[in-house]
Structure 1
Amino acid sequence: MMKERPVAEPKKISPALKLGLELGPILVFFAAYLLLKDNIYTIGGRDYEGFILVTAGFIPLMLASTFALWRLTGKLSKMQVMTAVLIVIFGGLSVWLNDDRFFKMKPTLIYLLFGGALGLGLLRGESWLQIVMEEAVPLTHEGWMILTRRLCYFFLALAVLNEVIWRTQSTDTWVYFKTFGLSAAVFLFFITQGKVFQDHGIEEAEGDES
C-alpha cells in the first residue's frame, strides 16, 4: 500500500520580517509618491505623472514581496493572492491607459470581494473567516458568526469610504488615506472586538463548562 505523504506545515519566520514584507511595499510606494508626485516624465513620447510611474514600480515590488513570503512560509492566504492579482490588473490598467482612477478603485473592489464573500458564507450559516483565522484566534461558532458579520459590514463600509475619498478628494489625500487610514481602520476594528474574544474564546467557554 502506498503511504500518504504528510502535509507540510507552514514554515515560521520572524514576525518583524513578515510585517516588513507585507507593509514594506506600501511604505515604499508612499515615499516614492512624495518624492515624484510633482514631476512629469516623458517615456516613449508619452507624458506620465509621478503617481503613474510609482504605480508601475509598485506592481513588481508587491509581487516580489508576495513571492518572498511564499518562499519563506510555504503558503499564502487567499486574501494575499487575491490582493496581488488585483494589484496587477488595476495597477496595470492605470499604467497602460495612463489613468490613475483604476488603481484608486482597487481597494474598493478588494473590500467588496472580501465583504461579499463573508456575506455569502453568512447566508449559508457559515463563517468563512473561521477557515482563515481559526488557528490564530480560537472562538466558539457563535463568536465566529458575530465577528464575521461585523467584519462583513466593516469591509463594505471601507469600500464605500474609499469610493468617496478618491472621487471627492485630491490624489494626495487618497494616498495618505490608503497608506495610513485603511491600515489604522483595520487595526482599530480588531482592537474594538476584545469583548467578542473575551466572551467567546474557546478556553473560557471550556472553563465555564467545567
Structure 2
Amino acid sequence: MQKQPDAAPCAQTEAPESGLALATKLAIELGPLLVFFGTNAAAGIYVATAVFMAATLVALGVAWWRYHKIPVMPLVSGAVVLVFGTLTLYLRDDTFIKLKPTIVYLTFAAFLGAGLLLRKPVLELLLGSVFNLTEPGWRKLTLRWALFFIGMAVLNEIVWRNVSTDAWVSFKAFGFLPLTFIFAMAQMPLMQRYSAVDDNKSAGPELPSQ
C-alpha cells in the first residue's frame, strides 16, 4: 500500500519529458522555417536566406545532439537549402531559394517511387518500427505520399511564379505545413484498414528508443 505514492512522481516526471521532446522536435522541424519568415519580413529575402541556412545547420546539429542521428528527410532538405541558398546569395537571384521546395518534394517523390519499383516501400523502412501495416498497405501509403509530394512540387511552382516574394514566403511558412498535416491525417483510415497485428512489435522493447 505504501508503494502507490511513488508512482505519482514517476508519472509527473514523464509528462514534462515528453513535452520537452515534442518541443525539441517542433523546434528542429519548424524553427528554421519560422526564422526564415520573420527575417524576410524584417530584412528581405537575401538576409532571410542566409539566416535560413544558418538556422538549418543549427537544427541539424541539435537533431544529431538530441537523437544521435539525423532523419533522412531533414537531411535531404537541409542539403538542398545549403546548395540553393548559396546559389541565391552568390548570384543574387532569389529564384534558387524559391526552387528549393520543388526540388525537395520531387526528390522525396523519386525516392518513394524508386522504392515502389524495387518492391521495397521506403516508408516501411522509415516507419516500420512505429506503424505496423500489411504489404499492400505500405505500397498504397507510399504511392499516396509520392503523389502528394509531386502535387506539392507543382503547387510551389504555381505559387512562386504568380505571387510576390513576400507572399511566397508566407505560403511556404503557413501553407505547406498545414497541407502536409491535413494529408497525413487523411491517411489514417487507410492505415487502420491495412493495420497488421504483430505481437512482437506491439510488445517489443523498441518503443522506448523512439
TM-score if structure 2 supplies the norm length? Answer: 0.82
Q: Determine the C-alpha separation between the residues in 1 that align with 2:27 and 2:74.
A: 15
The root-mean-square deviation of aligned C-alpha atoms, in Å, is: 1.8
- State the match for 1:7 in structure 2: none
The structure 2 residue matched to 1:23, chosen from 16, 30, 34, is 30
Matching of residues 122-141 of structure 1 within 5 Å: 122-141=116-135
SS at match of 1:203: coil
CA distance in 1 between partners of 2:130 and 2:186 (Å) = 17
Distance 1:185 1:203 in 2: 30
Paired residue secondary structure (1:75): coil
The separation in 1 between residues aligned to 2:108 and 2:76, in whole angstroms, is: 10
Structure 1, gaps ≥5 residues long:
1-11, 37-49, 206-210
CA offset digits 1:15-62 (Å, max 9, x no partner): 1111112211111111121122xxxxxxxxxxxxx2111111110111
* 1:91 alignment partner, one of 61, 70, 85: 85
Structure 1 CA distance, aligned partners of 2:22 and 2:164?
Answer: 35
Residue type of the alignment partner of 1:26: L
Equivalent-residue separation in structure 2 for 1:173 and 1:204 (angstroms): 47
| Percent sequence identity over aligned pairs | 38
Question: Residues of 1 paired with 2:48 and 2:166: CA distance?
Answer: 13
| 2:39–2:47 Cα contact (<8 Å) kept | no
C-alpha contact 2:88 2:95 (8 A) present in aligned 1: yes
User: For each residue in 1:156-206, what CA deviation from the matched residue of structure 2 results, as whole angstroms up to 9, or x when unmatched?
Assistant: 11111111111111112211111111111110111111111211112399x
Q: Secondary structure at the match of 1:130?
A: helix
Does structure 1 conserve the Cα–Cα contact (< 8 Å) formed by 2:85 and 2:96?
yes
- Tell me the CA shift for residue 126 of structure 1: 2.3
Equivalent of 1:193, from 179, 187, 195? 187
> Runs of 4+ in structure 1 displaced over 2 angstroms?
none
Aligned residue-pair number: 182
Task: Provide Cα deviations, 1:128-176, integer angstroms capped at 9, x if missing partner.
Answer: 1111111122211111111001111100111111111111111122111
Q: How does 1:42-57 map to 2 (within 5 A)?
A: 50-57=44-51
Contact in 1 for aligned 2:115/2:121 (Cα 8 Å): yes
Helix, strand or coil at the partner of 2:132: coil
Maintained 8 Å contact 1:115/1:151 = yes
